Amino acid sequence: MNIFRLTGDLSHLAAIIILLLKIWKTRSCAGISGKSQVLFALVFTTRYLDLLTAFISLYNTTMKVIYIGCAYATVYLIYAKFKATYDGNHDTFRVEFLVVPVGGLAFLVNHDFSPLEILWTFSIYLESVAILPQLFMISKTGEAETITTHYLFFLGLYRALYLINWIWRFYFEGFFDMIAIVAGVVQTILYCDFFYLYVTKVLKGKKLSLPA
C-alpha cells in the first residue's frame, strides 16, 4: 500500500468521524443531507459484499467494517435518533435521478458481467455523485456550518488522494482501472468549486455559501 492510498483512507475516515461527532455533540443533524448519507451507505454495502467471500488483509477488512458501520450509524442518527432536527424541507434532491442511471451504466460498463462485479461497479459510479444532494442542500440554504465544510473538505481530499494513488499504481505497478479513475475524476471535479470556497473563505474564518 502506498502513502497516497493510506492518507486517502485516513482522510475518508476523518470525514466520517467529523460528521458523526458533529451530529452527536450538537444533538442535531441540521444542515446534513440524509439523502447523501443513504447513498453513501448504499455505496459501502454494494462495494464491500466481498467481505462475505474473500479475505485480503486485516487492515482491509477492518476499514470496510468501519465504513459500513459508520454509514449506517449516521443514517440512524439522522432518520431516527435526531429525526426532529433533520431539515427535510431543504433535502429535496431527486436521488432516483442518480441511482437509476448509475444502475443502468453499471450493467452496461463493467469489468465482468457477474453480480458482485456489477454491484462493485455500481458503488464506484454512485460514490462519484453521492455528494450531490449535500451540495444541492447547501445551495438551497445558502450556507453551511464550518464543521460541515470540514467534513466535505476531507471527503473531497480522500477522492483527490485516491486519484493520485491510481496514477502511482499505473506508473509503478502497471495497474490501470479506467472505471475507478473516470469516476474519481468526476467526483473530484464536483468538489472543485467547494475546494476554492473552502480555501478562500472557511480557512479565513468566514462562512461558506454556495451559489443557488
Q: Which domain holds residue 188?
A: 3-201
Distance CA 48, CA 41 (A): 11
Domain assignment of residue 208, yes or no: no
The listed range with the strongest mean pLDDT (9-18, 151-160, 185-194) is 9-18
Q: With respect to residue 101, please indicate whether it lies within any of the assigned structural domains.
A: yes
Q: Which of 208, 190, 189 is nearest to 199 (CA)?
A: 208
Least confident of 48-57, 68-77, 104-113, 145-154: 145-154
Mean pLDDT of 152-170: 90
pTM for this prediction? 0.91
**Whether the predicted pLDDT of 203 surpasses 70:** no
Query: What is the reported pLDDT for 142?
Result: 72
Asked if the structure places residue 209 within a domain, the reply is no
In a domain, 212, yes or no: no
Is 42 inside a domain boundary? yes
Confidence of residue 208 (pLDDT cuts 50, 70, 90): low
Distance of CA 11 to the CA centre of its chain: 11
| Average pLDDT score over residue span 148-152 | 88
Residue 83 within any structural domain of the chain: yes
For residue 99, is it within any domain?
A: yes
In this model, does residue 212 exceed pLDDT 60? no
Q: Which residues contact 93 (CB under 8 A, 6 or more apart)?
A: 33, 35, 132, 133, 136, 137
Name every residue whose Cβ is closer than 8 Å to that of residue 181 and which is 6 or more positions away in sequence.
163, 166
Whole-number Å distance between alpha carbons of 158 and 14? 9
Domain count within the chain: 1
Report the C-alpha gap between 92 and 143 in whole angstroms: 16
User: Is residue 211 over pLDDT 60?
Assistant: no
Burial code (b: 16+ CB inside 10 Å, e: under 16) for 146-158 equals ebbbbbbbbbbbb
Comparing C-alpha atoms, which of 126, 135, 158 is closest to residue 38? 126
Tell me what pLDDT residue 96 has: 97
Could you give the CA distance from residue 99 to residue 118 in angstroms, rounded to a whole number? 14
State the pLDDT at residue 128. 93
pLDDT, tens digit, 9 for 90 and up, residues 94-135: 999 999 999 999 999 999 999 999 999 999 999 999 999 998
Q: Given the C-alpha cell 462519484, which residue does it identify?
A: 128
DSSP string, 88-132: TTT----THHHHHHHHHHHHHS-SS-SHHHHHHHHHHHHHHHTTH
**Would you say residue 74 lies in a domain?**
yes
